[in-house]
Amino acid sequence: MRHTFMVLVAGMGTLGVAFAADFSTPAAALKSLEAAYAAKDLDAAVASRDFDAEAHEIMHAMELENPNFQADPDMTRRLHREIEAGFRGEIAAKGFPDRSKLKCDFTEQAPKRPGLVPVLESCVAADGTKTEETDYAVKTDAGWKIINLPNTGG
């Protein structure tokens, strides 16, 4: 599923170009989030994430850790709002991550379960420094979206 986000880049009187967000695969969803960061487009970055699924994962992890804990829909909705607000707040406070000097490859790993796929992000910086990070994509009605998993994830 492709969505087009118009990206306006201020500076020297020029406009940037639009990019098409692609949520058709887990790797494409992560690339779309990275493109939103590069374009400094908060709405596109938010559209690449699924805060509801992330809240459900956190609540599920809490239930596994404490059998007496039972999440309810109101709790999950509040957590969703808090996670999204935190994401927006972090970008407002710190700005978008500068990934312009990185060359990254995205490799889908074996699913943790149906609809939850780890994506290995392998990057090389201009100075040759290599990093690897595992991100997670969840299948939604709108395609694949990126989530953060709690430490016990999956």
Instruction: Give residue 102's Cα distance to chain centre.
Output: 18
CB-based contact 66:87 (threshold 8 Å) = no
Distance separating alpha carbons of residues 27 and 35, to the nearest angstrom:
12
Neighbours of 69 (CB within 10 A): 11
The model's pLDDT over 10-58, given as tens digits with 9 standing for 90+, comes to 333 333 445 689 999 999 999 999 999 999 999 999 999 999 999 999 9
Domains of the chain: 2-147 (3.10.450)
CA dist 12 → 15, 35, 50, 115 (Å): 9, 21, 35, 44
pLDDT value at position 82?
97
The model's pLDDT over 70-108, given as tens digits with 9 standing for 90+, comes to 999 999 999 999 999 999 999 999 999 988 889 999 999
